[in-house]
Structure 1
Amino acid sequence: MEWCVSVPKIELHAHLNGSIRDSTLLDLARALGDKGLIDFSQVEHVILKRLSPIYTHFCVLKLEFDYGYLNTDNRSLSEVFKLFDLIHIVTTDHSSITRITKEVVEDFASENVVYLELRTTPKKNDSLGMSKRSYVEAVLEGLRAVSSVDVAFIPNSEEPVNLSSTLLSDASDKCNGNTRKKIFVRLLLSIDRRETTEAAMETVMLALEMRRFGVVGIDLSGNPAVGEWITYLPALMFARQQGLYVTLHCGEVSNSKEIHNMLDFLPQRIGHACFFEEEHWRKLKSSNIPVEICLTSNIRTLSVPTIDAHHFVDLYNAKHPLVLCTDDSGVFSTSLSNEYKIAASTFGLGQKEMFELSKNSIEFIFADDVVKEVLRKTFDSAAKSLTL
């Protein structure tokens, strides 16, 4: 696990609010309880629970013996979704959004994530004085508030050049008076599947307006059992025409026609791909669309039967482009380092293979070639200090 933390990593599928710290969710929920807006006693015990790591039976026993951090008092699937409902309630306040953003970036940076794409659905609530724009501005305020690391989130021609000589210290370096960790952060605005075509287009227009502040793309997410592909297609096509990147939650449930249509759209990336049929796999591999793999999430949501049977194996062996991600690190009690540990332990991958898996992720990021080159140099530098 120590090695998995020390290696530089790329995170491309992290939902902002789902990555909230347990302690922060507890604070925000307690505050709402004090105001009489929720029954705090009904959610406190769920927040305080932790999920045990996802491993094979052998690895679980070994971890329990070596580290002693397994907790048998785990969140059930229904409790996981209760947390998502709670998070939706506590994230209607601008200051809460700013706090969550700041802490999420700090948490990813602390485990040597050197490039982070955060995705979030801009909320609109007139009664609370929140517009989609003010929501995104609260996120940006959170990025500016980070002080423990240097955050490069405004994409312009000078940013990578100015940072390239000192950017992203070796993974083995510790923060000290002369060396600070640095992280690239880019934002994806999510279209919720509950939204209308007009609301989806509003999100795309906002992304275009906020592009100069690091918004680089559009994500389609939300309850996969809700809505129809044709509803969001006009907004997604417009986003791509305007030069925004597009990634789709694809194959979270069994919906053969939608999966086929999504792959026909040729997004720059897709997430999950759990309920693919043979024709979908053939189409995916022929199109070479990178897949955002979220191991813990897929197991916890029962999207795949066991970790051993995860489609990561087939894609990895086929040398298909893929990247390990967390999805919702707070709700699922995981981290990107933990996802790397799970992949290595379950599928028998060594440190060299894991390092290459991480480095190859650079090619799938939604950033320009200058940023990619800086990241390649970061990995090359880290390779000299890591034992591979």
Structure 2
Amino acid sequence: MIARVTETMEFSNTELREWCRELPKVELHTHLNGSIRDSTLLELVKNHGDNGIIVSKDVEHMILEKGTSLRKCFDLFAVYHVLTTDHETVKRITKEVVEDFAADNCIYLELRTTPKNNEAKGMTKRSYMQAVIDGLKAVDIVDVDLWGCGLNNEESGDTRRKKIFVRLLLSINRSEATSSAIDTVNLAMEMKDVGVVGIDLSGDPTVGQWETVLPALKLARELGLSVTLHCGEVRNSKEIQAMLDFNPERLGHVCLLADEEWDRLKSLVIPVEICLTSNIMTQTIPSIELHHFADLYKSEHPMSLCTDDTGLFSTTLSNEYYKAALSFGLGKEEMFKLAQEAVNFVFADESVKQHLTQKFEEAKGQML
């Protein structure tokens, strides 16, 4: 456990929550489909109609039980994916997710999503991603920078408006065939000029084989795309060791590693995307007191706090910082440093990193 500091105790809970909300933040691990608002999800279910595939009462029950186990999370994910198979819905949820992060004072967001094919709706992987881009263009409460030159900030002409940098990661689902995974990597390369910066490996950790997706991940590396992997969500030493051998730019979760795997992770100094609420709600980690955040923090291992799925886990990035502060005794300086150091792990280019660093420097005098 991290040695507690007294500074946190000087805050009231209300003051601490507000301070965490005002803190500039960098989000590196959030899934588009898992961040749908509950209100939007219920509206989509209503519009979809009870047709034997999705039943409104069942979804309402799933919302009440969401996040209570890893299995139930993927059950609800299946509902999300059924409801997000047309271009207008993808556009809408993208717009709402970015606006929600902007309202939470997130200044940089890496949004990951799995491109979909849906012949019945005329959707291809490329048109799915175009709908995501259209959603970014539709954001109207904040200026969005997608590829460095600005996406909609020149239209507003209001220099007082907040700005959020958004970059995209294309996710390979672990259940995909090798050819499909390679198609996703090629699409990511084709869309580098519109904000795609990397590849994510995600999906149900109990299915699929590492060897199936490895050719696509190797191709991504050859093409200069950054890679992040969901790792250690279940115990699978063979796969965890293979992922460490691959040595990606970042790893997500890393919950269930053996001692020798922890040692290797630290020696490789791979930044870790930490998702406190997600790990506890899915019972991947039994309690916050046992969360590996404490050990990694004490070891000064590079990491960033993330949400995973704001809708699925009913959380925000501010809430993740609040939870870390209360659980591990972090004071203002520790939390500010934790947020600021996440800039080092973004997949965007150096010019974006410089801009983000400047934003933190501007905020430091006001917050510390």
Work out whether residues 325 and 336 of structure 1, in 8 Å CA contact, stay in contact via their aligned partners in 2.
Answer: yes
Q: 1:235-283: per-residue Cα shift (whole Å, max 9, x none)?
A: 1111111110000001111011110110111100000001111111111
| Displacement of 1:82 | 3.6
- Asked whether 1:249 is paired with 2:225, we answer no
**One of 6, 15, 37 as aligned partner of 1:21:** 37
- Asked whether 1:39 is paired with 2:55, we answer yes
Work out whether residues 108 and 165 of structure 2, in 8 Å CA contact, stay in contact via their aligned partners in 1.
Answer: yes
After the TM superposition, which segments of 4 or more aligned residues of structure 1 sit over 6 Å from their partners? none
Matches within 5 A, 1:137-152: 137-152=130-145
- Asked whether 1:224 is paired with 2:205, we answer yes
Instruction: Give the distance between the partners of 1:332 and 1:233, measured in 2 at CA.
Output: 30
Give the secondary-structure state (helix, strand or coil) at the position aligned to 1:26: helix
Give the secondary-structure state (helix, strand or coil) at the position aligned to 1:236: helix
Matches within 5 A, 1:251-330: 251-330=232-311
Give the secondary-structure state (helix, strand or coil) at the position aligned to 1:375: helix
Instruction: Give the distance between the partners of 1:309 and 1:127, measured in 2 at CA.
Output: 47
Tell me how large the CA RMSD over aligned residues is: 1.9
Give the secondary-structure state (helix, strand or coil) at the position aligned to 2:92: helix
| 308 and 266 in structure 1: CA distance in 2 versus 1, 3 angstrom threshold | same
- Could you tell me which amino acid in structure 1 is paired with residue 265 of structure 2? L
- Could you tell me which amino acid in structure 1 is paired with residue 123 of structure 2? M
Instruction: Give the distance between the partners of 2:91 and 2:24, measured in 1 at CA.
Output: 26
- Asked whether 1:234 is paired with 2:202, we answer no
- Asked whether 1:187 is paired with 2:172, we answer no
Work out whether residues 9 and 115 of structure 1, in 8 Å CA contact, stay in contact via their aligned partners in 2.
Answer: yes
Instruction: Give the distance between the partners of 2:187 and 2:55, measured in 1 at CA.
Output: 35
Q: 2:361 maps to what in 1?
A: 380
Q: 1:175-196: per-residue Cα shift (whole Å, max 9, x none)?
A: xx76111000000000000101
| Displacement of 1:37 | 5.7
The percent identity for this pair of structures is 58
**One of 56, 79, 83 as aligned partner of 1:86:** 79
Q: TM-score, normalised by structure 2?
A: 0.91
**One of 186, 196, 206 as aligned partner of 2:187:** 206
**One of 3, 11, 27 as aligned partner of 2:27:** 11
Instruction: Give the distance between the partners of 1:41 and 1:279, measured in 2 at CA.
Output: 46
Instruction: Give the distance between the partners of 1:311 and 1:124, measured in 2 at CA.
Output: 37
Give the secondary-structure state (helix, strand or coil) at the position aligned to 1:43: helix
- Could you tell me which amino acid in structure 2 is paired with residue 94 of structure 1? H
Q: 1:51-99: per-residue Cα shift (whole Å, max 9, x none)?
A: 7xxxxxxxxxxxxxxxxxxxxxxx6436544422211110111111100
Instruction: Give the distance between the partners of 2:65 and 2:142, measured in 1 at CA.
Output: 27
**One of 331, 338, 341 as aligned partner of 1:360:** 341
Q: 2:119 maps to what in 1?
A: 126
Work out whether residues 50 and 333 of structure 1, in 8 Å CA contact, stay in contact via their aligned partners in 2.
Answer: no
Q: 1:54 maps to what in 2?
A: none
Q: 1:68 maps to what in 2?
A: none
Q: 1:62 maps to what in 2?
A: none
Instruction: Give the distance between the partners of 1:94 and 1:23, measured in 2 at CA.
Output: 19
Q: TM-score, normalised by structure 1?
A: 0.86
| Displacement of 1:29 | 0.7
Work out whether residues 87 and 131 of structure 2, in 8 Å CA contact, stay in contact via their aligned partners in 1.
Answer: yes
Q: 1:100-124: per-residue Cα shift (whole Å, max 9, x none)?
A: 0000000000011000000000111
Q: 1:69 maps to what in 2?
A: none
Give the secondary-structure state (helix, strand or coil) at the position aligned to 2:168: strand
Instruction: Give the distance between the partners of 1:234 and 1:283, measured in 2 at CA.
Output: 23
Work out whether residues 305 and 321 of structure 2, in 8 Å CA contact, stay in contact via their aligned partners in 1.
Answer: yes
Structure 1, unmatched stretches of 5+, are: 52-74, 167-176
Instruction: Give the distance between the partners of 2:77 and 2:214, measured in 1 at CA.
Output: 26
Q: 2:332 maps to what in 1?
A: 351
Instruction: Give the distance between the partners of 2:76 and 2:358, measured in 1 at CA.
Output: 39
